[in-house]
Amino acid sequence: MPIILPFLLVSCKGASSSNDSTSSTKESTFGQITSDFDYKAMLIFQDKQENYWFGGNEKGLYKYDGEKLMRFTKEDGLCSHAIIGIQEDHLGNVYFDTPEGVSKFDGHRFTTLTVIENDSSKHQWKLTSTDLWFRMGWSKKGPYRYDGKHLYYLEFPPPKLAETFYAKHPTPSYSPYGIYSMYKDRNGHLWFGTSSLGLCRFDGSTLQWLYEEHLSLTPEGGEFGIRAIIEDQEGYFWFSNNRYRYKISPTTSNRTTLDYQRENEILPNDKATIYYMSIVEDNNGALWMATYDDGVWCKQHDQLTHYPIKRSKKTPLIFSIYQDKQGKLWLTTHDSGIYCYNGKQFEPFHF
């Protein structure tokens, strides 16, 4: 199955080696009420005030408070219309990750975080409970860490697999380190899913890798990459597909790779493996796996249920699944707007 990246790969435009934490400010008289929602809005996030934020690719950013829909663009101080991540800090500020920088919204205005990028900062890996982590596209060799004051660019230590990759692809058109997903587990450890090198886990002191070919490559030969990571209520990890679940060893015999055990999982009758773009665990412990073009699969205990998604005889291309603070499940798509689960099926959501 060919995979289409959701956004163009453009270079980061953050400044380097500066002590200033923000720049490019815009005052609070901005945004406009709209009813013209972007059908390509592919991310959803609910903040502490229970506002919904929808990130798009072409028309900008949307905020929905339950009554009115607001749209924000570069004219309002947003650094890019291509939103690839949304998160909130412990103070209630909301951050928007884009290939062109990170925009921070403090409730009154947008600011763009300034990047500190030098040879020293690339190796200053730290992990605290209040840090935020960003991707800023897929062309770099590592993530960005924000400590509340500064945004630092970091680099992954190269795994042995990198040598094999570059020997096969001397001049690749993309970075094999490109981050497709990030996840913080129950122990506070941070996981990064890459385009071609598998998974990297940072436990606060050590960076270690886990790679299995079927996680990144589909049986048809497509390069899927690690699109989704989750730790379920039983402490098992799921990566990209449902063929296996993984138990990570608390101790390791190798400083560069993770020790783990894997267990077989149930598969649908007509498919060898389900590859999913996004996964969530609901309040009952069921796993909901959103595929790119095959709807949603739900695993509860030993039952696997399929929820096909249709819109005017068309199969929507799903990008992500999200559970809000009330437990409601949402889907975002590449081409068909937003869906929510009504207890029986996913139906289009209308503002």
Q: Give the list of residues 6+ apart from residue 7 with CB closer than 8 angstroms, or none.
A: 57, 82, 84, 99, 137
Following DSSP, what letter does each residue of 76-143 receive, concatenated? GT-S-S---EEEE-TTS-EEEEETTEEEEE-SS-EEEEPEE-STTGGG-----TT-EEE--SSSSSS-
Residues in the chain: 351
Structure-block tokens of residue 81? 């219309």
How far is it, in rounded angstroms, from Cα 304 to Cα 65? 35
- For residue 277, the model assigns a pLDDT of 96
Nearest to 243 by CA among 288, 222, 212: 212
Check residues 29 and 177 and name the one with the higher pLDDT: 177
Residue with tokens 């665990």: 281
- Summarize pLDDT for 338-347 with one digit per residue, the tens: 999 999 999 9
pTM: 0.89
Specify which residues 192 forms β-bridges with: 182, 200
User: Would you give the DSSP letter of residue 275?
Assistant: B
For 289, other C-beta atoms within 10 Å of its C-beta total 25
| Strand pairing class (338-341; 329-333) | antiparallel
User: Would you give the DSSP letter of residue 75?
Assistant: G
- Summarize pLDDT for 34-51 with one digit per residue, the tens: 998 888 889 999 999 999
Is the pLDDT at 26 greater than 60? The verdict is: no
The answer to whether 136 touches 101, Cβ cutoff 8 Å, is yes
Q: What is the rounded (10 degree) CA torsion for 180, 39, 2, 201? A: 10
How far is it, in rounded angstroms, from Cα 124 to Cα 74? 32
Lowest average pLDDT, out of 94-98, 176-180, 309-313, goes to 309-313
- Summarize pLDDT for 146-157 with one digit per residue, the tens: 999 999 999 999
- For residue 226, the model assigns a pLDDT of 97
150 CB-contact burial (10 Å; exposed 0-12 / middle 13-18 / buried 19+):
middle
Nearest to 291 by CA among 259, 334, 235, 254: 334
Distance of CA 72 to the CA centre of its chain: 21
Q: Give the list of residues 6+ apart from residue 299 with CB closer than 8 angstroms, or none.
A: 242, 265, 266, 286, 287, 289
Q: Give the list of residues 6+ apart from residue 94 with CB closer than 8 angstroms, or none.
A: 45, 47, 53, 86, 87, 88, 104, 105
- For residue 120, the model assigns a pLDDT of 84
- For residue 29, the model assigns a pLDDT of 54
